[in-house]
Amino acid sequence: MNLEHLTERLHRIRDTNDWKQFHSPKNLAMAASVEMAELVEIFQWLTEDQSRQLPADQLAHAGQEVGDIVLYLLLLCSELGLDMNEVVRAKLADSERRFAHE
């Protein structure tokens, strides 16, 4: 997955629709949070087993919400001048240092 290319495509959509005015870091973080809430709603009231065996339509819906979240986070990184690859790598390295016990 080429995150730079995805971000460029997102910027084209944003610019075509004159949405840049709404894409402040605050608004993008809130939008990602709303999408996360929509993902959580899919799992609300399911048992652990049910959450691992979603019907095809619910699995597709979960995928759409995950996609929304990732795209908003890409836009947020762009607005903040963060490199998504770098921040994810750094966080993973930190988690490995803190939690990987061999």
The pLDDT confidence band at residue 1, using thresholds 50, 70 and 90, is: confident
Structure tokens at 7: 């971000």
Condensed to tens digits (0 to 9), the pLDDT of residues 60-79 reads 999 999 999 999 999 999 99
Torsion sign across C-alpha atoms 79, 84, 86, 92: positive
Is the pLDDT assigned to residue 2 strictly greater than 90? yes
CA–CA dist 12, 41 (Å, integer): 30
Segment 28-45, tens digit of pLDDT: 999 999 999 999 999 999
Q: What is the pLDDT of residue 102?
A: 65
Domain spanning 3-100, CATH class = mainly alpha
Looking up tokens 């990602």, which residue turns up? 32
* Residue 87 banded pLDDT, cuts 50, 70, 90: very high
